[in-house]
Amino acid sequence: MCGIAGFINGRGDAQSPVLQAMLARIAHRGPDGQGIFVDGPAALGHRRLAIIDLDGGPQPMFNEDGRLAVVFNGEIYNYRELTAELTDSGHVFATRSDTEVLLHGWEQWGPELLPRLRGMFAFALWDRDTRQLFCARDAFGIKPLYYYRADDGTLLFASEIKAFLDHPSFEKQLNERQLELYLSFQYSPGEETFFTGVKKLLPGHWLRFDGTTLQTGAWWQTAFTPEVSPTHWPEAIDAVLQDSVAAHKIADAEVAGFLSGGVDSSYLAALARPGRCYTIGYAEPGYDEAIEAARLAGTLGIENRVRRITPTEFWDAIPAVQYHMDEPLADAAAVALYFLNETASREVKVCLSGEGADEFFGGYNIYKDPFTVRWYDRLPAGLRRVVGSVAERLPAIPGVNFLVRRARPLDQRYYGTTALLTERQKRRLLRRYQGIVQPRDLARPCWQASAGLDPVTRMQTCDLQLWLPGDILLKADKMSMAHSLELRVPFLDREVFALARRLPAEVKADAQRTKKALRTAAARHLPAASAQRKKRGFPVPVRDWLRDPRYAARVEAAFRSPAAARFFDTDRLHTLLRRHLRRRQDNWRQIFCIYCFLVWYEQFFGRDAA
């Protein structure tokens, strides 16, 4: 696990001091070493967090004749098998590092190497003979990679956007159009970013640059193919997860785990049996999962460390969280992850975490929707639209969200689990609303790709392509690497997905339960209460803390800032906050979303930002 950065200069040879400055920005991703390589216009840099082959894996790494150079962020879990196969084909390995597989694999197979890789990765490979750069990102988007084409022809790439800030060809400009999407998604969705010209290399995609022409394309297509078969799904799930956990434990350093009260992390802990695990807790009992986690850890014989977060710590950490995220993120769980990773990093370098189980196995509570109150969907569509339009203007009370949500067919309304502000609400709040790109525009390809499948699988497709890489995995990467910790996600494995994509709808969700087959599989290793515990997400008491004058004052100050006045109708912002404080409406998510954007903006575009 590391950080990479580099560029192909558009005019003249690359300069190593520029690369050094880029790497300094992301030093937190790899405190164990730094490597640079400059070859004419090309500059490749690497910050290392040593996990495998502690002494023999420095990067950039080269093939036997020095023609190929690679910098790599991630882990290849089947590197031993690939090493044996490539050795049999005549390749000579100089290290025990998984990085070297990329070099010899590229020599042997070229781009066909990518579907052979089992792991998480973002890498950049420079061919000194053809003068071409090739980059690739793993299938599910576990590891991030950004790129930017400057006006002078220079191409920049890095694990984090902030690495671009020190390159003289980079022009830092706000992409204000992304704000409208963010206010609906709570994260920055799709290929675009909040920085003009900076793009994400999408999950399962490659990039090729020859100094003139920039090309990108997909090497992987994520698709569910539910089937009707006599397969005993829980048994099959348990077998493939045991194999994945074993692969994800390969390391030359201790592998610990994260543990909440939910089934996902509990199941992984039961399979992996790490020596210790880490849990977040709060003083507020309605949000605290530490007691449940400690009880399970005792049952499994695992040492449990609990980090309880105070509200003051939470609010104080938000600027650092937004800085490390690179783009604004209004997922309060990111702050909890920030502290969880900080605590773990004091003792270990690697932790297992449960991201991906909900998207693969049907875990979100909203997946119950197609099975509930079905009579309402049989009402005339026009009537439901009228009721929904009226409900949209009402305070957020139980039942109102249901009426708004069910006013339109699923494929016209669903773009993720956390739909925040509607277009009508954004039009009222924003000073410069354009509505050129709307959430459903980003979701449309997902719905087209899943045409003919059941509603749960179609929602999974949407979440797998938007929510998972845009929020879940991005905060997992950025919050772990902020503290130089490697986070491994055994659910997000190619072999696990090969099974999960085949699951029929009836073993995923119904009106009462989610992750039905996964829970049955987990019950083979867990107490029944742990296997069947309802989905809670990663609860954080922001709703309550926002009603405390000490923390409401921070938000109120942000809402009075010049940045707030630039982007928003500040009178409406204060109305949102006032109604929440007086308990007339539950507006915490909208308030927190706007507040996080304003904090992020000050980090990167404020008066003293650099």
Residue numbers of the domain that contains 564: 542-610
The low-confidence residues of the chain, meaning pLDDT below 50, are none
Q: For residue 405, count CB atoms less than 10 angstroms from its CB and return exposed for 0-12, middle for 13-18, buried for 19 or more.
A: middle
Each residue of 308-322: pLDDT tens digit?
999 999 999 999 999
Whether 125 and 36 share a structural domain: yes
Pairing of strands 303-308, 276-281: parallel
User: Do the domain assignments include residue 437?
Assistant: no
Geometric angle at alpha carbon 26, from 21 and 29, rounded to 5°: 145
Whether 260 and 336 share a structural domain: yes
Helix (H, G, I), strand (E, B) or coil at 277: strand
Which residues touch 224 (CB under 8 Å, ≥6 apart)? 450, 453, 457, 460, 461, 500, 501
Q: Nearest Cα to 237, choosing from 417, 363, 416?
A: 363
Whether 241 and 166 share a structural domain: no
Geometric angle at alpha carbon 490, from 414 and 72, rounded to 5°: 95
pLDDT of residue 56: 65
Helix (H, G, I), strand (E, B) or coil at 136: strand
Number of domains into which the chain is organized: 3
Catalytic residues, by residue number, are 2
User: Do the domain assignments include residue 439?
Assistant: no
Helix, strand, coil content of the chain in percent (nearest 5): 45, 15, 40
Whether 131 and 251 share a structural domain: no
pLDDT of residue 132: 97
Whether 283 and 185 share a structural domain: no
Token pair for 585: 């409406």
Do residues 209 and 8 lie in contact, with contact meaning Cβ atoms separated by under 8 Å? Answer: yes
pLDDT of residue 54: 64
Whether 211 and 249 share a structural domain: no
| DSSP bridge pairs for 563 | none
538 φ/ψ angles, rounded to the nearest 5 degrees: -125, 75
pLDDT of residue 423: 92
Give 232-245 as a DSSP string: -HHHHHHHHHHHHH
Q: What is the pTM of this model?
A: 0.95
Whether 548 and 520 share a structural domain: no
pLDDT of residue 417: 87
What is the C-alpha to C-alpha distance for residues 2 and 4, in angstroms, rounded to an integer? 7
Final residue of a structural domain among 496, 531, 566: 531
Whether 469 and 557 share a structural domain: no
Q: Nearest Cα to 212, choosing from 125, 126, 122, 133?
A: 133
CATH code assigned at 348: 3.40.50.620
User: Do the domain assignments include residue 301?
Assistant: yes
Q: Nearest Cα to 508, choosing from 200, 227, 277, 143?
A: 227
Beta carbons within 10 angstroms of residue 376's beta carbon: 12
Each residue of 392-414: pLDDT tens digit?
766 666 667 777 777 678 888 89
Whether 125 and 144 share a structural domain: yes
Final residue of a structural domain among 479, 500, 531: 531
Q: For residue 256, count CB atoms less than 10 angstroms from its CB and return exposed for 0-12, middle for 13-18, buried for 19 or more.
A: buried
Geometric angle at alpha carbon 441, from 438 and 442, rounded to 5°: 100
Whether 517 and 548 share a structural domain: no
Q: Nearest Cα to 319, choosing from 570, 600, 61, 13?
A: 600
What is the C-alpha to C-alpha distance for residues 207 and 198, in angstroms, rounded to an integer? 14
